[in-house]
Amino acid sequence: MIRPRRTASAAAFVLGAALVGVFGLALPASAHVTVNPKEATQGGYGRVAFRVPNESDTASTTKIEVNLPENAPVASVSTIPLPGWTVVLEKRKVDPPLEVHGSQITEAVSKITWTAGAGAEVKPEQFQEFGVSLGPLPQVDQLVFKVLQTYSDGNISRWIDEPAAAGAEEPEHPAPVLKLAKAADPASGGATPSVAAVAQADDDEDDEDGSAGVGLGIAGLVAGLAGLVLGGLAFARTRRPSTPSGA
């Protein structure tokens, strides 16, 4: 004969194990440095932001170094002022020169370095965006920006891994990638969305995906808990010892 107390304990154990499984699945994946929006148009000018999350539990992000690709130089690069941070643009010679609006450009920015002043660091559980204007964007399929993220404890996260091939697993420390679409042919009447529009769509998509994911997760958790509780009670009832007739 199985005692009711032992049956209730078994049901509680099953419920606890289920809770661990549900909350374990809800743990967030490790974040990494990204560029937003993720797509722009070849030949045009774009404003992007490097989104940098702080992944350390104890140290703050104090410096960000963004290396521009050598095989696809950009003639014009400028940064958006960020309170508390200083920025330095390093340049390199380009050969052959870049032609922009009839002018020959012999130098292009090779690296952008942001350094935090006292109190401006990106602290644990925070992120910061570093805005940049680029153009004209080169006639290539994508720009890969290799980024170094320095922490106050001296550790450096190197977001420098090249994009994985189609169908392959994402690398451990992927570099931010800006996809470049071909400009629309005016004769076709097609229109290529602006960088600002793509950026808004990207942010809206992130918000919608996040809200929907949280809502579905909560709904699934509530439904699962309710089913486990009802199942445990039903199991306990079926295992109670029957009372002999005439007792």
The pLDDT assigned to 99 comes to: 87
The pLDDT assigned to 165 comes to: 84
213 pLDDT tier (thresholds 50, 70, 90): very low
Rg for the chain (alpha carbons), in Å?
A: 27
The pLDDT assigned to 164 comes to: 87
Angle of CA points 123, 124, 129, to nearest 5°: 60
Q: Tokens 């969305």 appear where?
A: 193
Amino acid in the structure at residue 86: T
Q: If DSSP states are collapsed to H, E and C, what string results for 92-137?
A: EEEEEEEEECCEEEEEEEEEEEEEECCCCCECCCCEEEEEEEEECC
Residue 125 tokens read as 């559980």
153 pLDDT tier (thresholds 50, 70, 90): very high
Asked if the model's pLDDT at residue 247 lies above 70, the reply is no
Write down the domain spans for the chain: 1-30+194-237, 34-192
Q: What is the mean pLDDT of residues 95-121?
A: 94
The pLDDT assigned to 197 comes to: 44
Instruction: Please state whether beta strands 85-100 and 103-116 pair in parallel, antiparallel, or not at all (unpaired).
Output: antiparallel
205 pLDDT tier (thresholds 50, 70, 90): very low
| Helices and strands (H, E) in the chain, number of each type | 2, 12
Higher pLDDT, 117 or 25: 117
pTM for the structure as a whole = 0.67
Taken in order 229, 235, 238, 240, the sign of the CA dihedral is negative
Class of domain 34-192: mainly beta
